[in-house]
Amino acid sequence: MNVLLDELDVGPEHWSRAPRQVSVALTNACDLACSFCYAPKRPAVLDVDRVAAWAVELASAGCLGVGFGGGEPTLYRRLPQLCREITSTTHLALTLTTHGQRWTPKLVRELSGNVHFVRVSIDGVGSVYEQIRGRSFADVSRRVELIASAFPLGVNTVVNSAVLPTLDEVAAFAVSHGALELLLLPQQPTRLLPGADDDVVAALRDWIHGYRGPLRLAIGAAPDSGDLVGLPVADPLPGEVGLRSYAHVDASGWLRRSSYDTDGVPVGTGGVLASLDRLAAIDAGQAGLRGKA
């Protein structure tokens, strides 16, 4: 259902205090070693009770959803317990982003009813996927089928020069497994690799314009820029930007503007909202300095 409310001006003082969506890296642990991965490689893991308390705090302040990632969230030992706790104590929509390789019928049973959407990272198909991920494409295909049997499914794809020629096949794979969405993520620069160059971004833009399939397409913005590779997008809440829209908590317990961001503030005993206020104050101070420059 789409609802457009444009005759009523709701002042910022009436907006929800929490971001609409918060992502949480439960752990930095991952059993893959993708070269384009931007996640920190230092060991870190969040306490389950701490995350559950944050979820209650965010829900009470108007947050709509929490997404768990990592690292690889299925390596988080108390993942089923945490998901049950959140769905039983809050109204939050709970999503997972996973490489999909560790899913079993047992894990599906443990998470069923407590996870509302699962995003699986599929970067290319066949040998392209296997070169990037170092795992069997046939195996992940079977596991995606297992996931799709129990949860609404999305596919995430990091787009670089190797993956770009396979986008038609990635989209076909997603459709054949019942995916509802294809999230396209232009590769971001890491310690090992540069980000997607102008040619890749331009070709991705052309592919999106030319796509006529049934999948809903989504695009990831570059950090701090809001750049959606020059594409027009629907923004139902144009005033709610930055931390009003989205925030990220890493596996060390630091609140950041996005999972790509290297700056942030620790989430202390005051909770997530207090840290949001601190980070917003930092942003406001920096904006004031830029205005005086």
Residues 208, 231: contact at Cβ < 8 Å? yes
Residues 99, 120: contact at Cβ < 8 Å? yes
pLDDT for 45 equals 97
pLDDT for 288 equals 62
pLDDT for 223 equals 46
The stretch 279-289 carries a mean pLDDT of: 80
Q: Please report how the helices 79-89 and 48-60 are oriented relative to each other, as an axis angle in degrees rounded to 10.
A: 20
Q: Does residue 71 or residue 237 have the better pLDDT?
A: 71
pLDDT for 193 equals 86
Residues 6 or more apart whose CB falls under 8 angstroms from that of 45 comprise: 26, 27, 28, 29, 76, 251
What CATH superfamily is the domain 18-224+242-292? Aldolase class I (3.20.20.70)
**pLDDT tens by residue, 221-256:** 654 444 556 676 666 677 778 888 999 999 999 999
Sort 48 into a burial class: Cβ within 10 Å, 0-12 / 13-18 / 19+: middle
pLDDT of 159 over the 90 cut: yes
Segments making up each domain of the chain, as ranges: 18-224+242-292
pLDDT of 289 over the 60 cut: no
The stretch 16-44 carries a mean pLDDT of: 93
Return the structure tokens found at 283.
Answer: 């942003």
The stretch 68-79 carries a mean pLDDT of: 97
